Amino acid sequence: MPFFERYLSVWVGLAIIAGVALGLAVPPLFQAVAAFEYAHVNLAVAVFIWVMVYPMMIQIDFTAIKKVGQNPRGLLLTLAINWLIKPFTMAALGWLFFKVLFAGWVDPQTATEYIAGMILLGVAPCTAMVFVWSHLTKGDANYTLVQVSVNDIIMVFAFAPIAALLLGVSDITVPWDTLLLSVVLYVVLPLIAGFLTRQMLVAKGGEAKVERFVAALKPISVMGLLATVVLLFGFQAETILAKPMAIVLIAIPLLIQTYGIFVIAYWAARRLRLKHNVAGPACLIGTSNFFELAVAVAISLFGLHSGAALATVVGVLVEVPVMLTLVAIVNRTSHWFEENPA
């Protein structure tokens, strides 16, 4: 493994520190970048995510996608985790911590809003960053694309009713502009670019040419990840400084949820005898979140400065560091799946 990737967690830690420091030192700069958004999707962050996702898309072989149907267990695992387990465990943990364990530290109204924000995170499975996690764990690019695509289709129909059920709100409006723009920016456009690039590379030098090109892009992809971390923490630097206790309280159940869901999914992947390059992405999709959608709905339902909006923002802040630890676990346990059939 190259030196830069071997110490990725160190670089991410430095990026977090740099983001908070820069956000406090030059807040007007980050405010200007934060304002560069449409439909709650920050376009600067979108560019860096695009840089991360693009190499994964080049590896997708459309002629092999039809083979995904020969082994549907990975897809079924992802769907079960995302829509039958994750939203309900998130709601349960939110209630346990903010209505019972942390009740003495948080007033009832704020506690209710924190729970709402957590629920919105739980009902919104990841669309973009999962391609990055799959890439870092040497996941099957074709299978990952199918998993994300099916999840996006289900999200169109299931997000509002499940969120309404758990929130007790009947008039939830799905921000279609946020949902559709995110899918176009993070899936459709890089997929088209990756397909065209792959066709050109295969024509010039076959699969070997594709592999060399993707390897050359990997450092750029990692730089995109670090730049994303700097921006996300820079945007929230003042909030981190102003509300450290609230952030810690929200982060605790979110961390338990993330690691708990991963353990359930990874255990199930072994029981289902999935290949490692399918098991890793299948589990990581279920543990990461579509934070743009969650933030947009939280703001529209509860307001920009609500506890629900803060909870979704905390979800954004903990996502990258936590997911990198899970990526490391997936990579270090590949031998658990060596006996599984191809």
The pLDDT score that the predictor gives to residue 172 is: 63
The pLDDT score that the predictor gives to residue 43 is: 87
Closest CA to 237 of 30, 2, 4: 30
The pLDDT score that the predictor gives to residue 228 is: 84
| Sign, CA torsion 315/318/323/325 | negative
| pLDDT digit string (tens) for the chain, length 342 residues | 565 666 677 888 898 899 999 999 999 999 999 888 887 788 888 888 888 778 877 877 767 666 666 778 989 999 999 999 999 999 999 999 999 999 999 898 889 999 999 999 999 888 778 888 888 898 888 888 888 888 888 888 888 888 888 888 656 666 778 777 877 887 788 888 988 998 999 888 888 888 889 888 878 888 888 888 898 888 888 888 888 999 999 999 999 999 999 999 999 999 999 999 999 999 998 888 887 788 888 877 787 678 888 899 888 888 888 999 999 999 999 888 876 554
Q: How far apart are CA 130 and CA 81, in angstroms?
A: 15
The pLDDT score that the predictor gives to residue 320 is: 85
- CA 83 to chain centroid, in Å, comes to 15
Q: How far apart are CA 299 and CA 178, in angstroms?
A: 12
